[in-house]
Amino acid sequence: MTFSALGLSDEIVRAVTERGYTEPTPIQAQAIPVVLSGGDLLAGAQTGTGKTAGFTLPILQRLTASAKPVTGKAPIRALVLIPTRELAAQVEESVRDYGKYLKLTSMTMIGGVNINPQIQRLKSRVDILVATPGRLLDHLQQKTLDLSHIEILVLDEADRMLDMGFIRDIKKILAILPRQRQNLLFSATFSDEIKNLADGLLNKPAMIEVARRNATAELITQKIYPVDRERKRELLTHLIKEHNWHQVLVFTRTKHGANKLAEQLNKDDIPALAIHGNKSQAARTRALAEFKTGKLQVLVATDIAARGIDIIELPHVVNFEMPNVSEDYVHRIGRTGRAGSEGEASSLVCIDEHKLLHDIERLTKREIPVVQVPGFEPDPRIKAEPILNGQNRGQGGGRKQQGQGQGQGRGGQGQARTRAAPRTGSGPSRTNAATGKPAARAPASHRSGGYGR
């Protein structure tokens, strides 16, 4: 299968070939013909599957094919709604890149930056608008945006959009769009809420589902490193230095935890920066750019801030703290081993997180190999403690309360969605031989005491 065989124009094929794509990914092979035909689409696909090109390429083609000569200012014809700023910026960058041999223009519309340059930009031609819902509504309120000529609407990462509390914003936006239009909805998961949204939005949609990443994670080597909560930073530094990891994306549960860890790593002579919703957009963009070019060895991120980070062949993802929501584990490790390259996802797990680990293994239907680093064996006398507001006591730096919102969502985003149940009893630590390699699994009866399995 080639991109030309899917009916894409020479200009588009040239742009994707230059980007290094030799053949369409499964989501692209299925979605492109549907979108080109003008029909609605409901697609189950996660980040990492190539879904962005799956909708962008045929949209570029359709807008080019049906371009009408316009007098005066051309209207905005396609709207792509995206939950987070980073992802919006990346999608728009892809639109520009894939469309570089076409005459179409695009714009990113996100919060966290001054609105005035966006108002200025809207005075010139924009064919494709890539926006986060909050800022888009700000523009509508200020009457600086006209969406009355939208022909194609994309809701990307719809499940995440709902998780972040954007449903009311989305409904407001849908209400002002022209009725006659093509709708494309992408979501990694299909809750009843998503099904309701799809029912109200889509007209006889084609349905496509590509394998979830948690079913196709063979390219990602996953490992669990047991460690006491107070020694995680020490172990992380050890792993980075010992294995000479040069580009590591590290996840923490909270903004405060991210800041603190980045500071500590810097003290250990490991260049690190934190990105999260409290940082300015400029600081986040700069950190991401430095990380991408390899200047910055470690990027510490919270889940929302890291959504959509697209770094080709990112070799290492580390869960410094396990996520409260199991699906976030899949999203996190999906940052590595992308589009055919191999990656390693390491989780530093302390006794408080056994229940979270258990939930993740249930979701992904696989047991993650355990590696015990010599000298970091958990102390069996340490008891599990509840994880309150995302923070383990040991990593909280004495702050009891820490907001979890990432500053991008509107309503609903700030709350922890689940709270880890404390595990009682310290249980014996894993008995793996300290080989530094993934240990052979102990029989289930042995495991149950140690890792919440």
Choice between 153 and 210, CB closer to ligand AMP: 210
CA separation for the pair 185, 200 (Å, rounded): 12
Choice between 205 and 308, CB closer to ligand AMP: 308
Choice between 284 and 335, CB closer to ligand AMP: 335
Task: Report the nearest approach of ligand AMP to the CB of residue 219 (Å).
Answer: 12
Q: Longest C-alpha distance within the chain, in Å?
A: 76
Task: Report the nearest approach of ligand AMP to the CB of residue 25 (Å).
Answer: 5
- The three-class DSSP label of residue 237 is helix
Is residue 274 a contact partner of residue 259, using CB atoms and an 8 Å limit?
Answer: yes
Residues contributing to the site for ligand AMP (CB under 6 A): 21, 24-25, 28, 47-53, 310, 312, 338-339
H, E, C per residue of 245-260: CCCEEEECCCHHHHHH
End-to-end Cα spacing for the chain: 43
Cβ neighbour number for residue 379 with a 10 Å cutoff: 11
- The three-class DSSP label of residue 106 is strand
Task: Report the nearest approach of ligand AMP to the CB of residue 401 (Å).
Answer: 35
Choice between 310 and 353, CB closer to ligand AMP: 310
Is residue 58 a contact partner of residue 28, using CB atoms and an 8 Å limit?
Answer: no
CA separation for the pair 453, 438 (Å, rounded): 17
Task: Report the nearest approach of ligand AMP to the CB of residue 210 (Å).
Answer: 10
Task: Report the nearest approach of ligand AMP to the CB of residue 2 (Å).
Answer: 10
**Which residue pairs, CB below 8 angstroms and at least 24 apart, start in 194-198?**
194/158, 194/159, 194/162, 197/155, 197/158, 197/162, 197/167, 197/170, 198/42, 198/158
Is residue 406 a contact partner of residue 277, using CB atoms and an 8 Å limit?
Answer: yes
Q: Which of 253, 259, 279, 256 is nearest to 408 (CA)?
A: 279
Choice between 24 and 450, CB closer to ligand AMP: 24
Choice between 47 and 302, CB closer to ligand AMP: 47
Choice between 49 and 222, CB closer to ligand AMP: 49
Task: Report the nearest approach of ligand AMP to the CB of residue 332 (Å).
Answer: 14
Task: Report the nearest approach of ligand AMP to the CB of residue 23 (Å).
Answer: 6
106-109 and 128-131 strand pairing: parallel
Q: Which of 328, 318, 320, 306 is nearest to 408 (CA)?
A: 306
Choice between 51 and 332, CB closer to ligand AMP: 51
Task: Report the nearest approach of ligand AMP to the CB of residue 137 (Å).
Answer: 25
